[in-house]
């Protein structure tokens, strides 16, 4: 299954998301285990939240598509409601130093705890089937009936405001920002050398709040024209990092030339072709676009 949703075409900030089942998943019969979400308070304006999540594909992660769906939903709730509503007072300029400290100390714990509570609630409503318990018992590292493992997923999200941009990442995947002249950058997230091959940090791991990486960027000049979040199936489809980063500039050029709606129509097919010729993995993106005149 593939999906696409565009926010109504308006001036200022707009957003788009798309998610496609990977070519290898189609061959094996596996579902698309990614999820995406967008929140925007008012059309064309900030604040805006993007989120993508990638549910793990190995056998024990029987509910990872559910874990990914909850991950993006909770990211939106925590960033759009909890962080904005509770920490930023209308009409009062935010104290960015204090806000950054709160994000560093508070945000990872709240995100992870909220996700864990939500999937545990789901388990209470829909207990694991014997086959799922058998897989968990074989893993042998936790109490199977209370396990978080079946829901394992990564999470990438960003909160864009007029004053600051906040990027967060747990596990693999990519964040690109594209300046108006097409220059590509990546937010200054701490590197995580453990993310190699098919192994990743995850919402389902113990003490995982410590693995959430954050980049807090005050907006000092012109904001990026494009912010792109993507699951790892996208970057893994290219011969090298530069070839993947070219995606950011190409999407910006395509949107400028043909409009967001047209790119939104074409994007699922582009992603499917990319997966087929590349990683074979599910590919999901969420992007925010800022066209200044």
Partner 1 sequence: MEEMERKLPGGALSSRPLHFIWIADCSGSMGQRGKIQALNNAIREAIPHMVAVANENPNAQVLVRAVKFSNGSQWHVAKATPMEQFRWEDLEADGVTDMGKALQLVAEQLDVTAMPARALPPVLVLVSDGKPTDDFSGGLRALMEKPWGTKAVRIAIAIGDDADKATLQRFIGHPELEPLQANNAESLVRYIKWVSTAVLQSASSPASQTLDASPTTNVPLPPVPEAAPDATDVW
- State how far the Cα of 9 lies from the Cα of 33, in Å rounded to an integer: 29
Which structure tokens are listed for 111?
């995100």
Distance, C-alpha 52 to centroid of its chain: 2
| Strand order from edge to edge, sheet including 226-230 | 3-6, 12-20, 283-291, 226-230, 174-178, 184-185
With residue 107 as reference, give the H or E element that holds it. helix 96-125
Q: How far apart are the first and last CA of the chain?
A: 37
Single residue of 125, 242, 292, 293 touching partner 1 by CB under 8 A: 242
Single residue of 6, 47, 57, 187 touching partner 1 by CB under 8 A: 57
Single residue of 89, 93, 141, 143 touching partner 1 by CB under 8 A: 141
In the complex, what is the shortest distance from the CB of residue 182 to partner 1, in angstroms, rounded to a whole number? Answer: 12
61 binds partner 1 (CB under 8 A): yes
User: Which C-beta is closer to partner 1: that of 218 or that of 241?
Assistant: 241
**Which span (51-59, 100-108, 112-120, 159-167) binds partner 1, by CB under 8 A?**
51-59
Question: Rg of the chain over CA atoms, in angstroms?
Answer: 19
> Cα-flanking dihedrals φ and ψ of residue 31, to 5°?
-80, 165
- State how far the Cα of 263 lies from the Cα of 100, in Å rounded to an integer: 34
3-state DSSP call for residue 215? Answer: strand
Binding mask 189-228 for partner 1 (x = CB under 8 A): ----xxxxxxxxxx-xxx----------------------
User: Which C-beta is closer to partner 1: that of 219 or that of 253?
Assistant: 253
Binding site for partner 1 (CB under 8 A): 23-24, 28, 30, 54, 56-61, 139-141, 149, 152, 172, 193-202, 204-206, 232, 235-240, 242-244, 246-247, 250-251, 254, 258, 262-263, 265-266, 270, 273-281
């Amino acid at each position: 299954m593939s999906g696409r949703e565009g926010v109504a075409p308006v001036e200022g900030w707009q957003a788009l998301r798309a998610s496609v089942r990977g070519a290898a998943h189609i061959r094996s019969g596996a579902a698309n285990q990614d999820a995406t979400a967008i929140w925007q308070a008012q059309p064309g304006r900030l604040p805006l939240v993007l989120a993508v999540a990638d549910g793990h594909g190995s056998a024990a992660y029987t509910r990872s598509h559910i874990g990914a769906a909850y991950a993006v939903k909770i990211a939106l709730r925590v960033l759009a409601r909890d962080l904005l509503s509770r920490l930023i007072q209308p009409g009062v300029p935010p104290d960015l130093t204090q806000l950054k400290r709160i994000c560093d100390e508070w945000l990872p714990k709240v995100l992870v705890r909220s996700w864990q509570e939500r999937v545990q609630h789901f388990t209470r409503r829909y207990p694991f089937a014997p086959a799922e318990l058998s897989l968990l018992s074989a893993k042998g590292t936790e109490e199977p009936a209370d396990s978080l493992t079946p829901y394992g997923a990564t999470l990438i999200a960003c909160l864009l405001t007029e004053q600051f941009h906040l990027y967060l990442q747990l596990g693999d995947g990519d964040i690109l920002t594209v300046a108006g002249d097409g220059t590509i950058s990546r937010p200054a997230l701490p590197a995580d050398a453990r993310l190699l091959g098919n192994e990743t940090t995850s919402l389902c791991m113990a003490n995982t709040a410590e693995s959430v990486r954050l980049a807090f960027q005050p907006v000092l000049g012109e904001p990026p024209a494009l912010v792109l979040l993507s699951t790892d199936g996208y970057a893994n489809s290219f011969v090298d990092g530069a070839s993947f980063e070219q995606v950011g500039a190409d999407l910006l050029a395509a949107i400028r030339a043909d409009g967001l709606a047209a790119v939104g129509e074409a994007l699922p097919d582009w992603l499917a072709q990319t997966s087929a010729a590349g990683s074979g993995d599910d590919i999901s993106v969420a992007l925010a676009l800022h066209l200044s005149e």
